[in-house]
Amino acid sequence: MRPADAYPDPADAPALRWGILAPGGIARRFAHEIPRYTASRVVAVGSRDLGRAEAFAADHDIPRAYGSYAELVADGEVDAVYVASPHSAHLELASLALTAGRPVLVEKSLTRNAAEARELFDLAASRGLFAMEAMWSRFLPHYRAVVDAVHDGAIGEVLTVTAQHGQHLVFGPEHRLWDPALAGGAMLDLTVYPLSFAHALLGVPDQVHAFGALSELGVDTGETVVLRYGERTVAVAQASLETAMANEATIAGTHGRIDLAGSFYTPVEVALSTHDGASWRLPVQHEGGFQFQAAEVARRVAAGETSSPLMSWQASVEVMELMDEARAQLGVVFPGE
Amino acid sequence: MRPADAYPDPADAPALRWGILAPGGIARRFAHEIPRYTASRVVAVGSRDLGRAEAFAADHDIPRAYGSYAELVADGEVDAVYVASPHSAHLELASLALTAGRPVLVEKSLTRNAAEARELFDLAASRGLFAMEAMWSRFLPHYRAVVDAVHDGAIGEVLTVTAQHGQHLVFGPEHRLWDPALAGGAMLDLTVYPLSFAHALLGVPDQVHAFGALSELGVDTGETVVLRYGERTVAVAQASLETAMANEATIAGTHGRIDLAGSFYTPVEVALSTHDGASWRLPVQHEGGFQFQAAEVARRVAAGETSSPLMSWQASVEVMELMDEARAQLGVVFPGE
């Protein structure tokens, strides 16, 4: 496996002036990590609730707070917009930013479904603007090292991939995750991680088999999704809103195995062992995590590109298609889809 | 979780004089561990090949070696017979022993299919003789503690069970595991462990979905079997003859999780953690492993019983039925079935 420092340092990326649309938990983490680990800064935040925007701005030393999304995207000193709303509003807010001429980084899952993802990227293409899904794990050095090692054949032919993302989320039915109108459920928030991991390793499966449970309001509280690639390879993605899983990932191949020790989608130690007795460990070498995706945006935008090969438009659409299929099998439909 | 010493010590069980039918790798381990960790002894071994029986007897200080199975089961000083042949001969050899009036412990998987399992137990019932599948893991203290903890509700409602048994077995197509005529393949040798684990925890599933790969000769080289219990609970059993998996098991429930650290079906450390922050570790407290099942046979035979509740006839038949269904979905048929 390549060492973590084989991948570019986020601190070396060009600086961007970020605007955040919709201050919430995930925006909080972005606002904390980007100024700390990159040359970029968050210069504005927009919310439908000005008081909320102002409180968020005060917490994170952000110069400007807006009481509407339109005001934020009109701010001429915002180089790029990070969309951090619930999934149900991703397309609308990203479209607002793109129409105003701003490149966008859109929190994962990108949209509610693949049709919305295509609409978002079509708009970016028509404007010649950068757009990317904020699937931050894909940009982490250990994650890239694992994907590169597998693609380089380090463990031979991949036979099984397993990955979980189970969280014991105790908040009640008033939370967005329990609300179908806000595209709640485990799929777009949690299952997207193991699914995107399998996709990064193996691409588009030949078959999808989803087994899951629905809440009374019809959101998926958790699922096991089996992806089949050809005759020999199976990936199993599991997630739950109700239980804290081990959240490890393992890739087993004909020549060896790679284990991601815990919470595989965050910075963790990776171990590779081959059947001939060789082994390799990749320790965690950094804090944070969101800086890697933000640095990638800064590099691509500076280069005048509209997408990143690390999370391409096609990859985002393919993962959304996977989730569309899994949701269809589970019977999860969001109002207005 | 109960401590390991909550379960009876194999050294305290009554003594049995064992005869072994078919000396091979698994018989070797039995012959090594039983005299070392219990009051029982192996007094005879039988093979179609007298030289092989004699060599095995010499290796393990076994007094008598026979060049036929019939001679062994006729030995009046054999209290119980351990059937350790390939799966394809389990029914035949167990029937020979039962017909001669000997209680039997039959290596897992019990038989090739559920019909054979029923035939075996019907014969034991008609003779009033003890019979049990040698699913040795079910008798290990850590395994019993886990099953008891789950049944006691220690982690609430079980939502997911995952367990693997992947081995990188490099021997070639002449080996029994690659031979359909000897009931080869991953299912009866490896997958039976995670399937029996799920069964011990959750019983008979409502649905079975098997995804696997077949060799050129038509044995399964590995599979992922999804078991559904009601709407909310999923167990995933994975196995492979081609790759060394992590072989861990995890049970995630609404109140917490139990992790079996590695090779869950052997003596390993167990960790229980609950969502309210409590945690409990059960360290490994013994060597060997086969002594627990052998001690259980000795206790039940001494008590005049024909089965053990720890691996009941019904449980064995139910697991065989699971494997029949999974094999049917994979298209694995053994010649003569």
- Would you list the domain boundaries of chain B? 9-135, 138-291+318-330
**CA A138 to centroid of chain Cα atoms:** 7
Cis, peptide link before residue A312, omega less than 30° from 0 = no
Same fold, B9-135 and B138-291+318-330: no
The verdict on B216 touching A (C-beta cutoff 8 Å) is no
Nearest to B243 among A212, A214, A257 (CB): A257
Alpha-helical segments (H) within chain B: 25-37, 50-59, 69-74, 90-99, 114-127, 141-151, 186, 192-202, 290-302, 313-330
Please, which residues 40-99 of chain A have a Cβ atom closer than 8 Å to chain B?
A: none
Confidence check: pLDDT of A5 > 70: yes
What is the value of ipTM here, to two decimals? 0.94
Q: CA Rg, chain B, in Å?
A: 19
Across the interface, whether the CB atoms of B252 and A245 are under 8 A apart is answered yes
Confidence check: pLDDT of A284 > 80: yes
Nearest to B228 among A160, A211, A228 (CB): A211
pLDDT > 90: percent of chain A:
93
CATH homologous superfamily for the domain A138-291+318-330: Dihydrodipicolinate Reductase; domain 2 (3.30.360.10)
Quote the minimal CA–CA distance from A4 to chain B in Å: 24
Cis, peptide link before residue B109, omega less than 30° from 0 = yes
B27 residue type, one letter: A
Nearest to A252 among B221, B245, B275 (CB): B245
Residue ranges of chain B whose pLDDT lies below 70: 171
Question: What confidence tier does A334 reach under pLDDT thresholds 50, 70, 90?
Answer: very high
Please, are residues A14 and A299 in contact by the beta-carbon 8 Å criterion? Answer: yes
Active-site annotation holder among A108, A144, A165, A300: A108
Query: pLDDT value at position A171?
Result: 65
What's the CA gap between A301 and A207, in Å, rounded?
36
Residue B47: DSSP 8-state: -
The verdict on B254 touching A (C-beta cutoff 8 Å) is yes
Residue B30 is a catalytic residue: no
Q: What is the pLDDT of residues B206-263, one digit of tens each?
A: 999 999 999 999 999 999 999 999 999 999 999 999 999 999 999 999 999 999 998 9
Strand order in the sheet with B158-166: B207-214, B220-229, B233-240, B158-166, B249-253, B256-260, B270-274, B279-282
Q: What is the pLDDT of residues A119-172, one digit of tens each?
A: 999 999 999 999 999 999 999 999 999 999 999 999 999 999 999 999 998 767
Give the H/E segment covering residue B273. strand B270-274
Give chain B positions within 8 Å (CB) of A259: 246
| DSSP SS3 for B204 | coil
Give chain A positions within 8 Å (CB) of B213: 159, 231-232
CATH number of A9-135: 3.40.50.720
